[in-house]
Amino acid sequence: MMIMAPELETTQRIETIQTDDFSDGDHTGQAEENGHAGKLIEYTACRSVPVIGMEVSCLALLDILRENPAAPCVVLVRNEEEIAGVIMREAFNRHLAGRFAAELYYDKPAAMFADPDALIVDAADPAAEVLNKALLRPDAKFYDCVAVMDEGCLLGILTLRDLMELSRRLQKEADERSGMAVVKSSDGVARIGDNALQMAREAAESAEATREMSGLAETGRRRLEEVISSYQMIAEQMRLQFEQTGVLERHIHSISGMASSIRSLADQSSLLAINASIEAAHAGEHGKGFQIVAGEVRKLAQQTRQFSEDIALLLGEIGSLIGENVSLTQYGLREIELGAEHIDAGSEAFSRLMANMENVSRRNQGLSRMAEDAAAAASRVSDELGAMLSQP
């Protein structure tokens, strides 16, 4: 550690770092811009004091102190490089003010009165840390000076007055920061209050919209129930129609059997007409009348057979249409049942939606009340912060 030290036989003044041109209001901001915020050198100026070597006698130190009446202490160095301690003026004078002080101490080295454990700090140390170290010293050393170094060189010393001024500056800076923090907090709380009021309004609007949606959902649910009822009625009618179609199918089969019977009778009538014609021919002149009747019966039998075939053909077409109607009716019943299941699911979904919207509405109402309470609390805090700012 290199220090600025004089020859051991003489004394030398150490240049003082001039930092007094830092204003109380903005020196920390400048320090932050310079990249060494909070350093001791940015807050206070060091005092220059005499520096002596280890061989300087008490008598010589008395002369040095008389030549430097403003110096509260001297700094003792060893080998021109290392601080060996600090000798306080008042403590030194008390020892040499006795009746036999001249015989006891004048020729002795002044180093015997040096404090080897004096507080030595660096100019780059945080000012608050330096002040804290100084305040933690024992009572016997509380009023001693503090040596300040910068890159191994002695800048000077700080007295108790300097430390008190340092404390005042730090306190003022802390008060300014607190004031700024209170202002920012007040602004932040005001914004929180505004946001809370906005949240309360939006929550109230959301609750109203939820209630309206709940009403629409209830209307939709009732309409679905009506649709379900209509589906059930249609399904019941289609089932009746399906049953009636089955009955109609059986009747068609019966009519088809009757048509077959009629055709069989027509065939028999035709056969009888042929036989009658043959017998009329055997009768000769007496059978001509029977011949005419037999011809008419044969014509009637042919017409009856034709009518029976037409009826059978028509019954076949009707049966085919009835079969298609049965298939369509069965398909329609399946589709209606499937649609009814979907409608039931939709109705259940509407019910759950209504329940959820009711829950959301209650929560929105609770959120609105909480937001209003938060806004009121934020307003009270803002008023209290404003009252704090207005206090001297």
Q: What is the pLDDT of residue 13?
A: 34
Please name which of 96, 68, 225 lies closest in space to residue 157, comparing C-alpha atoms: 68
Query: What are the tens digits of pLDDT across the range 197-208?
Result: 777 777 777 777
pLDDT confidence bin for 14, thresholds 50/70/90: very low
User: What letter represents residue 94's amino acid?
Assistant: R
Q: Which residue has the tokens 């700024």?
A: 180
List the CATH code of the domain at 182-390: 1.10.287.950
- pTM, entire model: 0.47
- Residues of the chain with pLDDT > 90, as a percent, come to 25
Question: Can you tell me the mean pLDDT for 322-333?
Answer: 75
| Amino acid code (one letter) for 236 | E
Q: What pLDDT digit, counting tens, does each position of 125-141 carry?
A: 999 999 999 999 999 99
Q: How confident is the model at residue 212 (pLDDT cuts 50, 70, 90)?
A: confident
29 pLDDT above the threshold of 90: no
pLDDT at 237 over 60: yes
Note the pLDDT of residue 5. 34
CA distances to 51, 61, 388 from 9, in Å: 11, 11, 60
Cβ–Cβ under 8 Å, residues 153 and 4: yes
Taking the CA atoms of 140, 142, 144 and 147 in sequence, report the sign of the dihedral they define. Answer: positive
pLDDT digits (tens, 9 = 90+) for 276-317: 778 777 777 766 676 777 777 777 777 777 877 778 787 777
- Using CA atoms, how far apart are residues 170 and 179, in angstroms rounded to an integer? 14
pLDDT of residue 1: 37
To the nearest 10°, the Cα dihedral for 112, 114, 115, 118?
-160
Task: Report the topology of domain 27-158.
Answer: CBS-domain (3.10.580)
For residues 209 and 31, the model is more confident at: 209
Question: What is the chain's mean pLDDT, rounded?
Answer: 77
pLDDT at 62: 93
Give dist(CA 200, CA 219) in Å, integer: 29
27-158 and 182-390 have identical folds: no
Q: Using CA of residue 360, residue 361, residue 365, residue 368, what is the dihedral sign?
A: positive
pLDDT of 32 strictly over 80: no
Count the residues in the chain: 392
| Sign of the torsion angle spanned by Cα atoms 89, 92, 95, 99 | negative
Contact, 349 vs 188, CB < 8 A? Answer: no
Nearest by Cα to 382 from 150, 172, 184, 157 = 184
- pLDDT at site 290: 67
Tokens 């003489």: give the residue. 10
How do the domains of the chain map onto residue ranges? Answer: 27-158, 182-390
pLDDT in tens, 70-129: 999 999 999 877 899 999 999 999 988 888 888 889 999 999 999 999 999 999 999 999
Best CA proximity match to 70, nearest among 159, 164, 165: 159
Q: What percent of the chain has pLDDT over 70?
A: 84
Tokens of 158: 């700080």
Burial of 83 (0-12, 13-18, 19+ CB in 10 A): buried
